[in-house]
Chains A and B, each alone.
Chain A
């Protein structure tokens, strides 16, 4: 198992390097650079101003040299400096990472647990009204644009009912501490996490249901039933465990995108996370910051892929670690 992990990590480093090089050039293909953005915002520009900015950002150097400097920095775990925000990239990402993880992990946990639960329920009562209701609701949540659900949720729960705060991570200026602060953050978290979670939940529900119905028809389930096992035991120990493999795969893919995948939710709910940081960096052509976010999110994808492979082994003992 250790050699399997070591091999995957080594491959991961190569993939990460390829991602960095590719993104480095892709970002620069977009028209405009940080100097253009800042000259655009200054309300005035002259050649000296633009040249100064380019020199400051190191954009006056040849591209391969810029890449080399960047990769050297990465090798020493230095993600560079955001001249736009006048702060080290690692610091900017570290500031935003907790909020993003809180949001995406909450959404992920809610969606996975409820998704699998409703999927099992729909499969257990396949063909009944309950199954139809769950399937239709899942389809609605799956098909509805996330920002629309977010806006409707704000309208319902903030504007009309006034139950939940409509934006932010906490009540600014309230000075809450301890449990009060935790509850305040939780209140702010409810709508963004639920909005983000609904889409994933719908996906897991549909996937679990379909997979369960497929596995239920297999011979070993008939054998289990012939052995006289109770329905609950068959469902839990035989059907669900086997039906979970595609769900685990999907969850692994989703988990990898948790760091950068909540741009819309973070924007609508003013949640101070990485998704928004990435979007702003893109709009402002903040190359170092954008690459930094890409590096971190790519690393997360690789880590979660590895975890997914390990979980496969736990769920299905027939799978062996290939070396």
Chain B
């Protein structure tokens, strides 16, 4: 057989293998999807009813609704109903069909082929095609910092036909299948944005998506109104006729609005934590902690390692022993959340609790401080200006640290002021909480790898930690071809980090969603309320 033919046959074989593996992977995912569907439907065995209006709280008022341009929390929550991503994610963070009905991954884990759902239209009636996907990716690279970071491993994106999109990666990138959630990669209508100035495009304030609800009205300062998309591609959905997002700036007033029946849904974080137990017990109130698996918010204190005192590992370990995190969980957070064991939340992939432990032990903290030669030098602490709960937490931690002999000065500032100080590395201790986006490569490594030390930026390695072994393991974990290899790398890196204490991990936060029990099936995925009201229905 001539050489050329041989290589063709080889290529065909390879293609066939890829297809077979791809089909197997797809089958696995379909089965998993079915299994999850069964679990979810078993949990919500009642027959959905169509119709009705739901009032939800949104706080603070989003600055805009164009998800490709604005990525703050409230925008994601409202616009997750208007826009869609290629995939959705189960509570276990397995991919589920979204605008892509199926997908395959090549055996070398470098080529991802998505088949788009046929018959999907934008809210203005134009068809959604692969050209929109290609355009969205190019636009997001300019407007969406997180999407740009997520796409850094992509070598090229192609659209062989209207319903197929092929991503080719430079090298295998384990978390790649996890970057297609609506907030991370929303699809944008090419026909409305191509060739326009994105920031002043009139559609930014009246967005057009493919989602289950269409934008209808926004009375600034009062409410945002969305109406059912009658042409939604999942037949029969959404069940609700309308959703109103009520803008109520005061936390106590939001609790009252729920109590008096004026709103039906309080998304996580809508009311002060100390009010959660009371409101949850109101007649007709249902509460769930589900729907945060993708984000898995975890809180910690940045420790500025440029400060010679904090550069000493013993001082950092002393801080971990000095902080009573169980007290914070039980008293300040009213029992909500979980004490963090290290850099990864227990809800994301490759978490391990097989790491050194730091129970509350003031005596040990004092001994470590003495060993480190700490003599009561002043340490500046920057609490997080996110309301009462955080304020109280700052006071409690200050008290903990003072109890073991540390001198703490609290710096009062608002959120932008605090961010500015952290970006400029002008702090010693600073509270924060960050999302983990389901995978260590997406939401964890950025806080510890050397290449992420960059002044003037947020959410990276602002503490200034540098450890070549940690860098190597995070790189290995991101690009390893199998999950087993990834797990091995990430478990090792978690142990090293917890031993080194580059930051003081506090709690895995829990923001329960409180609803009127008549609102059924609101949270069905690991993205929670941000994934929209597509499955929600009202038991009238």
Task: Give residues 227-259 of A contacting B (CB, 8 Å).
Answer: none
Whole-angstrom CA separation of A49 from B342 in the bound complex: 29
Whether, in the assembled complex, B118 has its beta carbon less than 8 Å from a beta carbon of chain A, the answer is no
Query: What is the predominant secondary structure among interface residues of chain B facing chain A?
Result: mixed
Whole-angstrom CA separation of A49 from B423 in the bound complex: 14
Q: Which residue of B lies closest to A51 (CB)?
A: B456
* Given contacts A42-B146, A46-B145, A31 and B252 within 8 Å (CB-CB): no
Contact of B414 among A166, A269, A283 (CB under 8 A): A283
B221-229, B312-320, B350-358, B392-400: which lies at the interface: B221-229
Task: Give residues 268-283 of A contacting B (CB, 8 Å).
Answer: 268-273, 276-277, 280, 283
Q: Select the residue from A41, A84, A155, A271 with max chain B CB neighbours within 10 A.
A: A41
* Given contacts A46-B148, A173-B244, A167 and B253 within 8 Å (CB-CB): yes
A36 in contact with B199 (CB, 8 Å) = no
A39 in contact with B145 (CB, 8 Å) = yes
Contact of A44 among B250, B260, B459 (CB under 8 A): B459
* Given contacts A40-B458, A45-B458, A99 and B221 within 8 Å (CB-CB): yes
The residues of A that contact B344 with a CB separation of less than 8 Å are none
Contact with B along A19-57 (1 / 0, CB 8 A): 000000000001111001111111111111110100010
Contact with A along B68-86 (1 / 0, CB 8 A): 0111110000000000000
B435 in contact with A172 (CB, 8 Å) = no
A270 in contact with B219 (CB, 8 Å) = no
Whole-angstrom CA separation of A167 from B199 in the bound complex: 33
A interface residues, how many (CB within 8 angstroms) = 58
Q: Select the residue from A49, A83, A92 with max chain B CB neighbours within 10 A.
A: A49
Task: Give residues 53-72 of B contacting A (CB, 8 Å).
Answer: 53, 55, 60-61, 63-64, 66, 69-72
B interface residues, how many (CB within 8 angstroms) = 61
Whether, in the assembled complex, A154 has its beta carbon less than 8 Å from a beta carbon of chain B, the answer is yes
The residues of B that contact A56 with a CB separation of less than 8 Å are 199
The residues of A that contact B260 with a CB separation of less than 8 Å are 158-159, 162, 166
Contact of A40 among B60, B419, B435, B460 (CB under 8 A): B419
Whole-angstrom CA separation of A155 from B222 in the bound complex: 21
Whether, in the assembled complex, B410 has its beta carbon less than 8 Å from a beta carbon of chain A, the answer is no
Whether, in the assembled complex, A304 has its beta carbon less than 8 Å from a beta carbon of chain B, the answer is no
Q: What is the minimal beta-carbon distance from A165 to any residue of chain B, in angstroms?
A: 7
A158 in contact with B256 (CB, 8 Å) = yes
Q: Which residue of B lies closest to A272 (CB)?
A: B221
Contact of A283 among B72, B416, B460 (CB under 8 A): B416
* Given contacts A50-B457, A173-B242, A154 and B145 within 8 Å (CB-CB): no
The residues of A that contact B60 with a CB separation of less than 8 Å are 280
A95 in contact with B220 (CB, 8 Å) = yes
A49 in contact with B145 (CB, 8 Å) = yes
A154 in contact with B415 (CB, 8 Å) = no
Whether, in the assembled complex, B20 has its beta carbon less than 8 Å from a beta carbon of chain A, the answer is no
The residues of B that contact A46 with a CB separation of less than 8 Å are 145, 148-149, 454, 457
A284 in contact with B252 (CB, 8 Å) = no
Contact of B221 among A39, A42, A155, A273 (CB under 8 A): A273
Contact of A86 among B64, B72, B435, B458 (CB under 8 A): B64
Q: Select the residue from A39, A99, A170, A284 with max chain B CB neighbours within 10 A.
A: A39
The residues of B that contact A48 with a CB separation of less than 8 Å are 145, 148
Whether, in the assembled complex, A85 has its beta carbon less than 8 Å from a beta carbon of chain B, the answer is yes
Whether, in the assembled complex, B322 has its beta carbon less than 8 Å from a beta carbon of chain A, the answer is no
The residues of B that contact A87 with a CB separation of less than 8 Å are 205
Q: What is the minimal beta-carbon distance from B332 to any residue of chain A, in angstroms?
A: 22
Whether, in the assembled complex, A200 has its beta carbon less than 8 Å from a beta carbon of chain B, the answer is no
* Given contacts A39-B458, A87-B205, A32 and B416 within 8 Å (CB-CB): yes
Whether, in the assembled complex, B288 has its beta carbon less than 8 Å from a beta carbon of chain A, the answer is no
Whole-angstrom CA separation of A98 from B138 in the bound complex: 42
Whole-angstrom CA separation of A99 from B248 in the bound complex: 15
Contact with B along A109-148 (1 / 0, CB 8 A): 0000000000000000000000000000000000000000
The residues of A that contact B69 with a CB separation of less than 8 Å are 86
Q: List 13 A-B contacts (CB under 8 A).
A: A30-B416, A37-B415, A40-B416, A41-B71, A45-B458, A46-B148, A47-B454, A158-B256, A165-B262, A268-B250, A268-B252, A271-B221, A284-B63
17 new A-B contacts at CB < 8 Å, known A36-B419, A44-B459: A32-B415, A36-B416, A36-B420, A39-B458, A40-B416, A42-B144, A42-B145, A45-B145, A45-B460, A151-B252, A154-B252, A154-B253, A159-B256, A167-B257, A172-B55, A172-B222, A173-B225
